[in-house]
A and B are shown apart, each in its own frame.
Chain A
Amino acid sequence: MKFEELLNSPIHIQIIEFFDQNPASIDTPRGVAAWINSDRETVKKALTELVELNILIEYRATATTGYGYTSNQAILKKIKKYLSNIKK
């Protein structure tokens, strides 16, 4: 998935908005699904795709995978611009 393709995906946008509003959060797919009121499997798939785009960072342990927001300033800037365009 390319960054631009996110424009057509509500679930990806919801996840990005969640992490943009809560950048210090680290949560599991179940947790993120609860916050954005969506189902776990769909969220899990979207989270993996957002990791591939370096928008999210994945923390893997034996039985848990946590996802956090990128700290990369260039990506954060791009996302801010992208989110403000959506709101217009």
Chain B
Amino acid sequence: MFTKEYKKELFDLLRTNAHMQKAFDMLRKQSKVVSYIIIKDFQTKKSLSIMKKGLELLGIKNRKSISKIVGLIKNKTANKEDIKFGEINGKYWVYIFPLTMDGKTYAFTICFSTDIITTTHLECFAFSLKIVFENIYKSAELSKISDSIKPRAIALSTVHTLHRLITSSLNLDELLPRIAHLSIQVLRANRCSIKLLNDSKKILISKTTIDLRKHKKISLRNLPVGQGVPGRAIKLEKILRARNYISIPLIDEEAIGVITVYDKIDKKPFSEFDVEIFRTLAEQSVVAIKNAQLYEEQRNFIISIMQTLAKVLEHKKNEYRIKNPIYTELNLRIGKIMALNSEELKTLEIASLLHDTGQLSLPKTILSKKSRLTKKEFALIKSQPKKTASVFKNFNSLKPVMPILLHQHEKYDGTGYPKGLRGNEIPLASRIMAVVAAFNSMVGKRAYKKRKTIIEAIAEIEKNSGTQFDPTIVSVFIKTVNTASFKKLLGERLK
């Protein structure tokens, strides 16, 4: 059944349809039809007005005549005949063709003729009208179906895109703000906050809040379960909706947090459709958050294994009086200034912990040798990066670390080893580690040489900037080691 809006569309299509005009033109050629009109009914003011205008075109302007004609048409249409006709004004014959579908009349075509139309021509015209009307009706019905399906199809496509955008990140620090931004986008809201439960499951820790409103101070407020809108949503494990918010608990096997959007940008209330979309987004978010948490746990587990390994290594190096006072910390400080993201910093941290694991395979005599190394011994030293990388090659999650370990002894001018890479061909993390390793080697204890002072070490690195070391990193390094906090830390480590 058509709604009022679609009935209007159907009627408009009828009035403007070219085939309708063609059918009428054919009838006009075969008879003495002078004009035709299409009206919805005989009751509404608009229909009566169309009819009066049609009659006026025929020169019938007398009000009484018009009323008489309208009455005649009304009487004729009350009969059950398909085509109704009658004489009007002693001059015209009027023919009324109801346009029906499934027993329901949607409109009437009224033709005015100066003579009687033959039955054959009438039947032909009625048949043409029927075909044209059926096509128009189907077209309007298709348009109605398309109009109701399209928004759902677009919403489905949005859900699919959201899924791809959300599940592509395993980094919680990146994932949570992304979910908040996407929630604001699809809900057309001003604000979104995501809170995750702490280990005791009693406090919601505020993880991210995005607020589009200018000059609004963003507060990351933790909430006890049961307090505030998010606190109640998580306590009840129920979606809470009001005019200006929707709060959805994030539930996997158990509740892990809550996501809340506030204030639509057009100031309208949140609808049931908004809840449906937001619920889907929240369900996708739970999976993505759990995956990221598991990945982080696995990553932390690997880091703790690596830290243990590094301690074992450190212990062995102590036997050879090798000490790297501030290697990992300095790498990370420079990495942060070089704008590495959190993922890249974690990779740099692991690479720093493992950087000289390959030394374990070197004979003690080489590591503690005070005199110049032989060619054979130096070849063994040069094989160390490959050995370090090969020790960890079976750890899939350490894949990003491998190229850093492998190229940590490359030189900026291409004279390093194992591949002789130059400039930006060398991974950025490897270039950072090269500077820091040289500094540590100079200021730390070594069996084969005397320690340099910090000033001497910095001067030596500066001297090799652009040849052995990346000049950009050297300049960041110099700024970093000259900060008071670093000097204090290094002083403590060198004691």
Contact of A28 with B by CB under 8 A: yes
Interface residues in A21-72 (C-beta closer than 8 Å to B): 22-28, 31, 35, 57, 59, 61-64, 66, 68-69, 71
Question: Which listed residue, A26, A62, A64, touches B158 by the CB 8 Å rule?
Answer: A26
Contact of B157 with A by CB under 8 A: yes
- List, in ascending order, chain B residues with CB within 8 A of A84's CB: none
Closest to B274 in A: A24
- Segment with Cβ contacts to A, from B79-87, B183-191, B308-316, B417-425: B183-191
Q: Is the CB of A26 within 8 A of B185?
A: yes
Interface centre among B161, B164, B178, B277 (most CB of A within 10 A): B161
Interface residues in B209-247 (C-beta closer than 8 Å to A): 212
- List, in ascending order, chain A residues with CB within 8 A of B168's CB: 61-64
Contact of B154 with A by CB under 8 A: yes
Question: Which listed residue, B157, B185, B265, touches A73 by the CB 8 Å rule?
Answer: B265
Q: Is the CB of B178 within 8 A of A59?
A: yes
Closest to A60 in B: B165
Size category of the A interface is 20 to 34
Q: Is the CB of A31 within 8 A of B161?
A: yes
- In the assembled complex, the Cα of A82 lies from the Cα of B265 at a distance in Å of 20
Q: Mark B168-179, 1 if CB is under 8 A from A, else 0.
A: 110000000010
Question: Which listed residue, B178, B187, B190, B212, touches A24 by the CB 8 Å rule?
Answer: B187
Q: Is the CB of A64 within 8 A of B185?
A: no
Contact of B181 with A by CB under 8 A: yes
Q: Is the CB of B186 within 8 A of A71?
A: no
- In the assembled complex, the Cα of A61 lies from the Cα of B175 at a distance in Å of 10
Interface centre among B162, B165, B181, B187 (most CB of A within 10 A): B165
- In the assembled complex, the Cα of A23 lies from the Cα of B165 at a distance in Å of 18
- In the assembled complex, the Cα of A19 lies from the Cα of B158 at a distance in Å of 12
Q: Is the CB of A26 within 8 A of B154?
A: no
Closest to B160 in A: A31
Question: Which listed residue, A28, A35, A61, A68, touches B186 by the CB 8 Å rule?
Answer: A68
- List, in ascending order, chain B residues with CB within 8 A of A64's CB: 161, 164-165, 168
Q: List 30 A-B contacts (CB under 8 A).
A: A22-B154, A24-B158, A24-B187, A24-B188, A25-B154, A25-B157, A25-B186, A26-B162, A26-B165, A26-B182, A26-B186, A28-B164, A35-B154, A35-B157, A59-B165, A59-B185, A61-B164, A61-B165, A61-B168, A62-B169, A63-B168, A64-B161, A64-B164, A64-B165, A64-B168, A66-B162, A66-B182, A68-B186, A71-B185, A71-B265
Binding site for B on A (CB under 8 A): 22-28, 31, 35, 57, 59, 61-64, 66, 68-69, 71, 73
4 tightest CB-CB pairs across the interface, nearest first? A61-B168, A64-B164, A68-B185, A62-B168
